[in-house]
């Protein structure tokens, strides 16, 4: 049984299930318009739009909050999504981090923790990325994920990337 809301710890980050009481601290991070500039929901920095996003995350049963270990502060969120029609696959998505944590060791550790947990239970992970979100496309490509040609037209405005367990292990070994 895949735990959609694990508690995970790395050297820089801790990840735990999202709680209703997390709204103020997570909205404080999400209220930066530049976080959403390349995202299809580019107005998610507004409270009503973010509140809906937050509530859907709570209802999903897979939403996680990300804390920086050094300071204990909330720096972002991510989510696991299970699709019953694909029992050997999980989606990691709806991820955002405060801008000061972009493109470096924090995002890499977040994805490594989440992928490590996922690959104990499933054979592949997918990422659905907005077709204009170049930053996120680069980030999932760095993980070794590749565009899934079978899904190119299945989600308009989105690109689906897939990473399987063996590719993740190879990429992890290559990176050291």
Q: What is the rounded distance in angstroms from the CA atom of residue 115 to the CA atom of residue 109?
A: 10
Q: What is the pLDDT of residue 13?
A: 97
Q: What is the pLDDT of residue 168?
A: 74
Taking only Cα atoms into account, the Rg of the chain, rounded to an integer number of angstroms, comes to 15
Q: What is the rounded distance in angstroms from the CA atom of residue 47 to the CA atom of residue 49?
A: 6
Residues of the chain falling short of pLDDT 50: none
Q: What is the rounded distance in angstroms from the CA atom of residue 79 to the CA atom of residue 59?
A: 11
Q: What is the pLDDT of residue 135?
A: 86
Could you state, in order of their start, the residue ranges of all structural domains in the chain?
Answer: 8-175
Q: What is the pLDDT of residue 84?
A: 80
Q: What is the pLDDT of residue 166?
A: 82
CB 137 within 8 A of CB 125: no
Per CATH, the homologous superfamily of domain 8-175 is: Gcn5-related N-acetyltransferase (GNAT) (3.40.630.30)
Residue 65 host element (H or E)? strand 63-68
Residue 158 host element (H or E)? strand 158-164
Q: 72-109: b or e for each residue (b if 16 or more CB lie within 10 Å)? A: eebbbbbbbbbeeeeeebbbbbbbbbbeebeeeebbbb
Over the stretch 41-71, which tens digit does the pLDDT of each residue have?
Answer: 899 999 999 999 999 999 999 999 999 999 9
Query: Cβ contacts of residue 78 below 8 Å, gap of 6+?
Result: 15, 63, 64, 66, 92, 93, 94, 95, 96, 110, 114
Q: What is the pLDDT of residue 176?
A: 55
């Amino acid at each position: 049984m895949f735990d959609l809301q694990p508690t995970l710890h790395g050297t820089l980050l801790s990840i735990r299930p999202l709680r209703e009481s997390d709204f103020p601290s997570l909205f404080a991070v999400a209220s930066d318009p530049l976080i959403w500039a390349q995202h299809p929901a580019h107005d998610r920095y507004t409270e009503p739009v973010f509140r809906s996003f937050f509530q859907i995350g709570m209802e999903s049963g897979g939403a996680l909050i990300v804390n920086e270990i050094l300071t204990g502060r909330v720096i972002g969120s991510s989510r696991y999504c299970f699709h019953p029609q694909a029992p050997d696959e999980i989606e990691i998505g709806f991820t955002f981090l405060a801008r000061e944590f972009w493109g470096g060791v924090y995002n890499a550790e977040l994805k490594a923790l989440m992928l490590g947990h996922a690959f104990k239970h499933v054979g592949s992970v997918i990422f659905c990325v907005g077709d204009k979100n170049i930053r996120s496309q680069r980030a999932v490509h760095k993980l070794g994920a590749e565009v899934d040609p079978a899904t190119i037209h299945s989600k308009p405005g989105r690109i689906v990337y897939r990473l399987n367990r063996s590719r993740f292990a190879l990429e992890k070994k290559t990176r050291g």
